[in-house]
Structure 1
Amino acid sequence: MHRDRQALRCRALDLALWALICAPVLLNGDGDGPGRWAGSWLGSWWAGAAGAALLGAAVAVGRRRPLTALVVALGLSAVHGAQLITPQYTAALVAFGFLAGRRSTRARPALALFAAVALAGLGVVLVLDRAPWSWFNLVAALLFAVVVPWLLGRFVRQYVELGAAGWRLADRMEREQRAVADRARLRERSRIAGDMHDSLGHELSLIALRAAALEVDRGLDERQRAAARELRQAAGDATARLRDIVGVLRGDDEDAPVTPRDEPVRALVERAGASGLTVTLREEGENVPLPEMTARAVHRVVQESLTNAAKHAPGAAVAVRVVRGPAEVAVTVTNGPAPSPAPSVAAGGTGLVGLHERARLAGGSLAHGPDADGGFAVHARLPATAGAPPAPPPAPTSAREWDLARRRVRRGLRQVIAVPGAVGVVLGVVMLGFDQYSRMRTVVHRASYDAVRVGDPEAYVLARLPERALPDRPAGLPPEPRDADRCAYYRKDVLWDAPAFRFCFTDGRLSSKSVVRDVPNEEHRAD
């Protein structure tokens, strides 16, 4: 019932998201503006319907493949506007960018996608010979409409994980407190058992001794000596039963061994593979005998890691690597992410804690945690020679995990603030440098201006001018001559667009040249 309710809630949220991001698509049509459906109504309707359908597909796959949904939104935005910012799909970009950060466990695929979009935009600019400013606009749109929401989603995910980690640690601490109480009770039971053995065993021994004395007493008849013999035997049986009961009281929290005492790691791995686990073993170094504590620790690390992999990542491949050196032996057990979501399994929280303690008592150390590929890794370093002192007890696992979760959240917050700012600063510096470079390439020196004369062929004039002219007529300049076929404008100074040099051509020849200024009432004359 809970799962059905949760699935219904997810579907309702997906429908609400679809309606929210489809509204701009349907209202703006094919880019004619809100409510303007006349003229190309049918074409706009079909374009809006196709976009809404693709966005619906993106929402449908967004929970399992959030980057795929983001790619759909980016493709639709690129079709309607090369610079990504469009009235129709900007909301979809922001929404899917945020959800990609919120739902993705790994950051590298998203970063690779952002880099690919930026490089693809640069390639389009170079191939189509467009103004580089369009690429700067695309990068800025990608940064603020996709990357910033993605970073916010990552921060929210890490914040939620911090809360979940807090609840997990609280639950683990509660279980550990119960375990401590149970161990205290067991210790008390063991102490009571020892007292019982010491007191009752002593009394029973005395009873057996006195009965044995009566058994050999010549002053008693045969019937009395037989009764003394039975009393001695009963006291001996009671002592044996008491010893058995004390043993049970002292060892009822220990499981009987289910594996051979000296089972090698290879046999353990082969047994796990025979049970259906996909596992490989790689051993390096000389196969020299290890101290008993180290050998037991190596076996226990591999055994617990295989158990955890089968429990929490069923179907994932497991790799075991044992490297034996002259001073230490390194054990690494890694498993990839589960091919499908693993069923909810309550973690006991004591297996890895026990491994930490076993490695410490053997004189080594143990580390574990998620790896970069989304799997899990356990690393143990143990001494290869006898006599290594136990390492000092580590900080509590809960404290380390809580501190790690808090650091992830703080790092995510710093990324949300610093990354857009840093990218914006870099982009601004690049744009400023390109602007200055482009300005320098559109400046005409006075000597070049004087070198050409009215009536010179257009090709002759353009050969003596910079390769690039100003893309548009600077604002505030007087109208162009009516008889001119076209006019080209060049900067007179690198810092300003006006005053500027204007060269007008008619029938393939220079018909006029002038210095024009941005004062509308000023009389402009040919220089």
Structure 2
Amino acid sequence: MSAKWVRGSVVQDWGLAVIVAVIQLAASSGANASQTGVRSLDAFAYLLLLAGPIALGFRRVRPEPVLLVAFVAAVVYVLRDYGYGPIFLSLIIAFLTAAVSGSRWRTYPVVAVGFLLMVWPLPALLGRDSDAWQIFGLLAWMGVLVAIAEGVRQRRAVVSAREQRAEATARDEQSQQARAASEERLSIARELHDLLAHSLSLINVQSSVALELFDRKPQQAAAALATIKTTSKEALTEVHTLLHAIRSGAAVVPEYPETVGTEPDSPRPEPARPAPRAPAPTLEDLDGLLERTRSTGLDVDTKIIGMPKKLPSVIDVAAARIVQESLTNVVRHAPGATALITLRYTPESVDITVDNTRPTGTAVRTGIGGNGIIGMRERAHALGGALTAGPRPSGGFRVAARLPARPAALSTQARTSADARSEAANGEEARA
């Protein structure tokens, strides 16, 4: 609440108090003179006429005490037989202010008590003249007053509920945006890991081989250095194309239902062109995927069970990434081992198993832990699949994943993440 708003409210309240005071003082004299059998106004009467308006200056700060002051002033004014008059104006304003912002149980009974003390039966018991039409008329006006207060309360409740819903909607949108940003960051991190982990692991292994054979077998060391050069160049190209795609906000080529664009006059929406990228690895190019790994000396065999079929791009890319990361772990942690990749196709799923034998050499120590298995498991779960990884009873290590033949319902954000960007990239030519 700003200081400017507070000052404006104080000015409004005291301005209203002055206006009500002028009306009550000026009009009460005429009302008193026009009534017969009433006491003439004296100093105490004018004090009562001023008590209510003065209290109205504090009506926003202490509405219920202000109502009490105005009520007592009006009751005393009527019971001292000064007659009826504009003194009720301050009471009405005080009642509406307190009834709208305060408790019904503490404000609404004031109307009933006021009727008993100022209209009927107490004035009649004190010997005052009472007119039935006047009694019922005042009763009706009091009912209208309560109805007005209740209507204002309901209106404020509706406005408050709308504001709360709007705030809740805004908070939910902010939460969704934060969650979407977090998912996007995770997808970018996974994509960078997929791009670099395999290449850097091969570079690390080949550099160790080159250092070891540099003096004894320079030709093999030169071959290892050539592999390092090729691998590093490819890795740099992949990173540059990924950064370009991120910076340009590359759109994903959307998948449309088969019914879209089948009618003669039904135009197919023009897909947005993504930024050019090197094609993402897929199971269709399994030999090309294994070529770089085999250049390190790792013996990799493949086994296909079932009839190979074209998988949805997001599934195909995820499966290739799992194979690639599993082989990267073999190169890093099981030197001298052999690996076997088994792909089993069924109508409902594609099962991927990467087994490696016991290592025969010493693993290269990089000094840092990896997140490869975590990333593979997250990728599988995001598609509605599952992945397990652990030592084999006979020695070695096994990574086993089951991916659905059709992806589970993915969120829009997931479709625009790294997996979806890889789908768009499959149809593009590799950049130079």
**TM-score category by the smaller chain?**
0.3 to 0.5
Q: Bigger relative contact order, structure 1 or 2, given CA contacts below 8 A and separation 6+? A: 2
